[in-house]
């Protein structure tokens, strides 16, 4: 998408894939980030932390996600290795300790990518840790710290984040996962917004 701001007079909200530049960040269309404290165009600098190219881990965010102000994504290099007898990251300071620079990644445990599905809502100042996968339609509560995978259409909150409830019954969740309305053409989604907003799954299925 070439468009940065979804609303003409709102400079606090951006289409995220129009402002991120890192090769290890993938963001789907229509995903938005709102920031009333900082310039939202600086999302990559302010919100994606310890994300160094040497690790090769990625941030993958689907379509139509909503990310609130101050949400953070903490990557591998923030995880000091648990294999060591010390919390100190000796391999990072290879010059100081005359170590092999090629072993720098042994300073931390590589937990892997952070993956958000589609239509995910990440609340104010929530923290998503490396290696976590969040399913489609999930909601991450305000200031939650997510250390484990979140199933589709599940609301989680707390520190560490735990399931609060499912948004819908299992039959509805299966139907939404099968429909994958977020992958439809723009015109088809536009025709279906009323059905989506009013919770009319039957009408949405007719439009499929």
SS3 (DSSP) at 185: coil
* Separation between Cα atoms, residue 35 and residue 130, nearest integer Å: 22
Determine phi and psi for 142, rounding to 5 degrees.
Answer: -55, 130
Query: How many CA atoms within 13 Å lie on the side-chain side of 148?
Result: 10
State the DSSP H helix or E strand holding residue 129, giving kind and residue range, or none if neither: strand 127-129
Per-residue pLDDT of the chain (208 residues; tens, 9 = 90+): 789 999 999 999 999 999 999 999 999 999 999 999 999 999 999 999 999 988 899 999 999 999 999 999 999 888 899 999 999 999 999 999 999 999 999 999 889 999 999 999 999 999 999 999 999 999 999 999 999 999 999 999 999 999 999 999 999 999 999 999 999 999 999 999 999 999 999 999 998 8
Which pLDDT belongs to residue 177? 98
Query: Is-catalytic flag, 51?
Result: no
Q: Residue 86: what pLDDT? A: 94
Mode of pairing for the β-strands spanning 127-129 and 72-74: parallel
- Nearest Cα to Cα of residue 161 among 175, 147, 172: 147
pLDDT of residue 47: 98
> Among residues 60, 72, 80, 143, which one is catalytic?
80
Q: What is the pLDDT of residue 77?
A: 86
């Amino acid at each position: 998408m070439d468009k940065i701001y979804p609303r003409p007079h709102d400079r606090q909200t951006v289409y995220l894939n129009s402002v991120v530049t890192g090769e290890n960040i993938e963001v789907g269309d229509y995903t938005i980030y709102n920031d009333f404290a900082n310039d939202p165009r600086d999302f990559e600098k302010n919100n994606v932390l310890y994300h160094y190219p040497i690790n090769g881990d990625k941030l993958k965010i689907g379509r139509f996600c909503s990310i609130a102000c101050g949400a953070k994504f903490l990557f591998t290099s923030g995880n000091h290795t648990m294999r060591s007898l010390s919390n100190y990251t000796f391999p990072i300071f290879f010059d100081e300790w005359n170590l092999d620079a090629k072993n720098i990644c042994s300073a931390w445990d590589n937990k892997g990518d952070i993956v958000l599905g589609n239509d995910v809502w990440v609340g104010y100042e929530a923290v998503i840790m490396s290696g976590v996968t969040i399913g489609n339609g999930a909601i991450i509560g305000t200031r939650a710290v997510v250390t484990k995978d979140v199933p589709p259409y599940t609301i989680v909150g707390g520190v560490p984040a735990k399931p609060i409830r499912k948004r819908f019954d299992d039959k509805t969740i299966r139907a939404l996962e099968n429909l994958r309305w977020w992958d439809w053409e723009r015109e088809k989604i536009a025709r279906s917004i009323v059905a989506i907003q009013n919770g009319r799954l039957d009408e949405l299925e007719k439009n499929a």
